[in-house]
């Protein structure tokens, strides 16, 4: 596990030097949220459907073209209505370069993060520090994920308690480069308490590049933004492909990822058999034998040009050896012929070597 203290003073200073002018963080319309109230609701869905029918609407192309196909149509409206009902939906507008770094923000205790388009908000001079030491992996995988614990205490922000009670206190998650320059777009998550710890899972696109970047959370209400916390993210040398199964976990245990191909071959890809005849390969293995590398990610990929076997696959996550005490949550991200899904699991504190979790999926995904 890594936290803000692992970031060099130079990087923090560079970031702080850029946070000079105040911006209204929350008045901006978000992807799928044309009324800019901070939530994707059925009202937003109706707005999108009205725009699709060329009726009066608060929609703009950057906020309502949620499947990024260049037009606002009924498909976008259905996606927004599905998101409002907390069903699977595509909410990935153009005009949000943060999508080059983050494809989804999941919230363990509430609604998922809402993507906001436009410039990331900047705190004013004298903005309080509300974000504590961030716990999460610094090594990440393109097409994988990172579960991060973000402690916060907004009590120094006058009016924050009332904002939390009214559902108007938010966690902002932005992305900056190592010089502290923010990319456009950010995510917001409503906070129900003035202080606490938010556990979020950041899902990364397969197109994530090789360059390191900064994950930056802050608290915000009524346009008042705190200083940002910082967690550096360093992409590992691991592959995407037409089929990819990626495992991330924390703290540092010897967890192993196994992928069993469909019958009749049924080859099992894992640390003892890293490549299958169909082209699947384990290209990232972490903490073998509790030789801790703190990568905390494992990855099985079928590279572009390979031809994965069609049928039912089995994914196994095995606790090969317990290296440290405590509960060990994990996330599997599946990139399956262009469809991305994820599942969360954990090993409890009493489980030791040999404990296993098992999941199944079909390739190609069923309609």
Residues of the chain where predicted confidence (pLDDT) is lower than 70 = 1-29, 95, 367
- Residue 293's pLDDT is 97
pTM of the predicted model, to two decimals?
A: 0.82
- Residue 327's pLDDT is 96
pLDDT digits (tens, 9 = 90+) for 305-330: 899 999 999 999 999 999 999 999 99
pLDDT digits (tens, 9 = 90+) for 170-191: 999 999 999 999 998 899 999 9
Inter-residue contact 362 to 276 (CB < 8 Å): no
- Residue 17's pLDDT is 45
- Residue 367's pLDDT is 59
d(CA 325, CA 61): 50
Angle formed by the axes of helices 42-52 and 74-84, to 10°? 180
- Residue 29's pLDDT is 67
């Amino acid at each position: 596990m890594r936290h803000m203290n692992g970031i060099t003073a130079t990087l923090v200073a560079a970031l702080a030097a850029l946070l000079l002018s105040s911006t209204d963080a929350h008045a901006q319309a978000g992807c799928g949220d044309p009324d800019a109230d901070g939530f994707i609701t059925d009202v937003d869905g109706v707005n999108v459907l009205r725009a699709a029918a060329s009726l009066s609407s608060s929609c703009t192309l950057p906020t309502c073209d949620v499947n990024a196909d260049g037009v606002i149509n009924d498909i976008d409206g259905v996606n927004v209505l599905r998101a409002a009902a907390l069903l699977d939906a595509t909410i990935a507008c153009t005009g949000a370069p943060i999508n080059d770094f983050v494809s989804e923000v999941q919230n363990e205790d509430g609604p998922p993060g809402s993507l906001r388009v436009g410039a990331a908000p900047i705190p004013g001079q004298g903005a309080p520090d509300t974000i504590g030491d961030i716990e999460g992996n610094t090594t990440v995988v393109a097409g994988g994920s990172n579960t991060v614990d973000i402690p916060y205490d907004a009590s120094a922000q006058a009016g924050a308690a009332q904002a939390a009670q009214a559902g108007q206190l938010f966690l902002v998650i932005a992305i900056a480069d190592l010089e502290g320059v923010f990319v456009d777009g950010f995510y917001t998550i409503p906070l129900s308490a003035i202080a606490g710890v938010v556990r979020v899972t950041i899902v990364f696109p397969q197109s994530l590049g090789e360059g390191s970047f900064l994950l930056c959370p802050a608290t915000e209400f009524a346009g008042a933004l705190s200083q940002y916390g910082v967690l550096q993210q360093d992409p590992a040398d691991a592959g995407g492909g037409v089929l990819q199964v990626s495992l991330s976990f924390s703290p540092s245990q010897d967890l192993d990822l196994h992928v069993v191909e469909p019958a009749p071959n049924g080859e099992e890809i894992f640390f003892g058999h890293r490549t299958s005849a169909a082209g699947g390969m384990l290209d990232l293995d972490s903490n073998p034998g509790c030789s801790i590398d703190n990568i905390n990610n494992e990855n099985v990929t079928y590279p572009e040009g390979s031809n994965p076997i069609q049928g039912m696959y089995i994914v196994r996550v095995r606790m090969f050896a317990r290296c440290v005490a405590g509960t060990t949550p994990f996330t599997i991200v599946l990139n399956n012929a262009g469809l991305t899904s994820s599942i969360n699991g954990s090993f409890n504190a009493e489980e030791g070597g040999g404990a296993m979790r098992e999941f199944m999926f079909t390739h190609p995904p069923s309609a």
